[in-house]
């Protein structure tokens, strides 16, 4: 006996429009799952990674554009900075309680994946490596091998027993803009601040730009030893006990000497002078530059003459508060300068005057 072919009941029959709706729902669910996975990557610290060593020296690489953080409560930004730093605590205290105390601790920024770090400390403080432990965000502890002080800027360098650390990147000269927004981190708490207008040093002191130098500060009152970060997560500097700001280029210019065990030395230009604002004619001669460094005194054999107007360090035009950073970042034994001499452009390479 022949049986008719089996047909689904009427209720199992799915109209075309419902099939379309089901397909659309599946697509939406898939998209949500993908986005959730991406967000999960951000929260689990996969999204942001340091690009130190990639040659750019600023910013981040990621699955997408690096986020510009504007919310002081943003947990991703804070977590990422904490992973680039360690907290130094007294070994006996941490061994006894297993927690980080609220006093007598120091937050240090990691400079190399082999454990070199830098932190701000009072000038009178004395550190013995055997008395301290470094604690990471995840609770891992590392022994401190050594300390080395830079008393001129109240900084302390040190090294840990370990490797594979996440390291910070340095800010760029373009961030030396009065009013630029910065993050201040102290005891794992973030707050917003801005760079104040730099002040010229009144005393005639030996600096990286002859007798002219600017000091930096922030507009708000911050706790001493606060760490300053840019919006891109690069190290901008430290706030010292006296409220002054030690910018990153002070660290960047000498930290290799520290790692190699050399005497800490700072390169200066063999000149003295002051910053000036260029006239309209001078700006035309200097290809639109607004400021210059007017040379009053110079060392014999430097190739510089009295009355020269330095407009560029390397290929970058100077501003009053950026010249010292540009000089400090010039590698090697000489500094490339562009200047105006009697209205004519002159390119010159000047040997540094190394000061111990």
Q: Are 167 and 49 in contact (CB under 8 A)?
A: no
CATH architecture of residue range(s) 173-259: Beta Barrel (2.40)
Q: What is the DSSP letter of 194?
A: E
Residue-wise burial string across 57-92, b where 16 or more C-beta atoms lie within 10 A, e elsewhere:
ebbbeeeeeebebeeeeeebbbbbbbbbbbbbbebe
Q: φ, ψ for residue 324 (rounded to 5)?
A: -65, -35
Q: Which of 77, 79, 86 is nearest to 230 (CA)?
A: 77
Pick the CATH number of 75-160 from 2.40.10.10, 1.10.3720.10, 3.40.640.10, 3.30.200.20: 2.40.10.10
Distance of CA 287 to the CA centre of its chain: 30
- Would you kindly state where each structural domain of the chain is located, as residue ranges? 75-160, 173-259, 266-355
The residue assigned the tokens 């697509």 is: 27
Q: Residue 60: helix, strand or coil by DSSP? A: strand
Strand duo 132-135 + 85-90: pairing? antiparallel
DSSP states of 106-128: EEEEE-STTSEEEEE--TT----
Same-fold call for 173-259 versus 266-355: no
**Whole-prediction pTM value?**
0.74
CATH architecture of residue range(s) 266-355: Roll (2.30)
Per-residue pLDDT of the chain (356 residues; tens, 9 = 90+): 444 434 334 444 445 444 445 455 555 555 554 444 444 433 333 222 223 322 233 222 222 333 444 454 566 778 888 889 999 999 999 988 888 888 889 999 999 999 999 999 988 888 999 999 999 988 899 999 999 998 888 899 999 999 899 999 999 998 998 999 999 999 888 899 999 988 877 555 555 565 567 888 898 889 889 999 998 889 999 998 778 899 999 998 888 888 888 888 777 788 888 889 988 888 888 888 999 999 988 777 788 889 999 999 999 999 888 988 898 888 778 889 999 998 889 999 988 775 55
Distance CA 310, CA 318 (A): 8
């Amino acid at each position: 006996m022949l049986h008719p072919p089996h047909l689904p009941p009427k209720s199992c029959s799915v109209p075309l429009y419902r099939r379309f709706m089901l397909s659309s729902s599946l697509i939406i669910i898939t998209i949500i799952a993908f986005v959730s996975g991406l967000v999960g990557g951000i929260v689990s610290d996969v999204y942001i990674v340091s690009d130190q060593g990639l040659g750019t020296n600023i910013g981040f690489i990621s699955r997408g554009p690096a986020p510009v953080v504007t919310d002081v409560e943003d947990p991703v930004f804070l977590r990422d900075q904490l992973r680039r730093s360690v907290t130094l605590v007294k070994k006996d205290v941490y061994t006894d309680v297993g927690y980080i105390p609220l006093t007598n601790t120091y937050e240090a920024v990691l400079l190399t994946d082999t454990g070199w770090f830098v932190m701000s400390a009072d000038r009178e403080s004395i550190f013995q490596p055997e008395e301290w432990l470094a604690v990471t965000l995840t609770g891992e502890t590392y022994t401190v091998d050594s300390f080395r002080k830079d008393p001129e800027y109240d900084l302390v360098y040190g090294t840990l027993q370990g490797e594979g650390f996440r390291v910070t990147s340095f800010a760029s000269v373009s961030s030396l803009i009065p009013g630029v927004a910065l993050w201040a981190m102290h005891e794992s708490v973030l707050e917003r601040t801005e760079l104040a207008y730099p002040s010229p040093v009144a005393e005639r002191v030996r600096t990286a730009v002859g007798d002219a130098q600017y000091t930096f500060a922030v507009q708000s009152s911050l706790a001493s030893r606060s760490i300053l970060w840019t919006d891109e997560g690069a190290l901008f500097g430290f706030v010292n006990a006296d409220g002054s700001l030690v910018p990153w280029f002070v660290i960047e210019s000498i930290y290799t000497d520290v790692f190699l065990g050399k005497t800490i030395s700072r390169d200066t230009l063999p000149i003295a002078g002051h910053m000036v604002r260029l006239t309209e004619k001078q700006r035309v001669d200097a290809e639109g530059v607004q400021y210059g460094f007017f040379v009053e005194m110079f060392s014999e054999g430097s190739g510089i003459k009295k009355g020269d107007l330095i407009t560029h360090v390397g290929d970058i035009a100077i501003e009053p508060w950026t010249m010292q950073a540009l000089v400090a970042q010039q590698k090697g034994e000489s500094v490339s300068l562009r200047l105006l001499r009697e209205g004519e452009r002159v390119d010159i390479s000047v040997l540094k005057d190394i000061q111990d």
